[in-house]
Amino acid sequence: MTSWYVAVILGIIEGLTEFLPVSSTGHLIIAGHLLGYTGPKAETFEIVIQLGAILAVVVLYWERFYGLLDFSGKRNFSGIRGLWLLFLTSLPASVVGLLAHKFIKTHLFSPVTVAWALGVGAVIIFIVEGMNKKETAAEIDDITPALAFGIGCFQCLALWPGFSRSAATIMGGMLLGVRRSTAAEYSFIAAVPIMCAATGYDFLKNYQLFEAGDMLFLAIGFSVSFFSAWAAVKGFIYLLGKTTLRPFAVYRLALAPLVLLFL
């Protein structure tokens, strides 16, 4: 059985990077090789700890998710309309991901393709941050169905491992006129249905790789990922009130060659 500290380290990395525009995939590739934890079992473990990070967002934004059960229409992002917005955002990547799942797993999970995704994503961040954009949505309640679907189309870029789902949706939202901090918060919330679907699908296919003795290892990784993601999301929103996303782009450019070292 793999040492417990591997679960702690990978849980921290997953939680800290899943919702930041830096690619959790790139970080986990490096960490997995350094720790000697690779292969199908390791990939399925990464899926389990992703669920821990997802749960952190559900807890942090519980009022928003609870509001989806409010059908009074007092808030735009609630009830049927809120569910419709999340559906529109999740639809494009769900369809493309389902159709291209085998191709992505076979051809896009190498360190080379991840490094390219990191670099391309960094360039896009610089471009978007340098544009003068008309702000049309200052709050999540201002997001329209057209905006939700548009953000969902940008989310398809996240199917390229290393690009970062967070980067894709935040950049897409900003290009479409959503305030930076609002785009980030909507990105976190919109991640829940698409990530639950993707991780659930992969886990159901591969859960048999684990034995009863692995349950503690999984539980440690899941728990550490939850608390790390909690801290990362709150810290990220705080930083967005004081700076742009350019520092994350610089970090991505520095990370890309490191990923190539672990071919």
List the domain range (segments joined by +) for residue 62. 4-260
Number of domains in the chain: 1
Rg (CA), the chain: 18
The predicted model gives 26-30 an average pLDDT of 84
Give dist(CA 104, CA 107) in Å, integer.
5
Mean pLDDT of the chain: 89
Backbone CA torsion sign across 74, 76, 82, 84: positive
Q: Comparing C-alpha atoms, which of 120, 147, 152, 118 is closest to residue 134?
A: 147
Please report, for residues 18, 62, 183, the alpha-carbon distance to residue 39 in angstroms, rounded to integers and kept in the order given.
20, 35, 34
Look at residue 136 in the predicted model and tell me its pLDDT.
Answer: 87
Asked if pLDDT for residue 109 goes beyond 80, the answer is no
Give the tokens for residue 178. 């959503």
Tens digits of residue pLDDT in 187-224? 999 999 888 887 777 777 777 777 777 788 888 999 99
pLDDT score for 22: 92
Q: Which residue has the tokens 């490096």?
A: 30
Confidence band of 71 (pLDDT split at 50, 70, 90): confident
* Tens digit of each residue's pLDDT (9 = 90 or more) over 125-181: 999 999 877 888 999 999 999 999 999 999 999 999 889 999 999 999 999 999 999
- Give the DSSP letter of residue 224: H
Q: How far apart are CA 144 and CA 82, in angstroms?
A: 10
3-state secondary structure of 31: helix
Question: Out of 27-36, 164-173, 250-259, which region has the weakest mean confidence (pLDDT)?
Answer: 27-36
d(CA 95, CA 28): 26
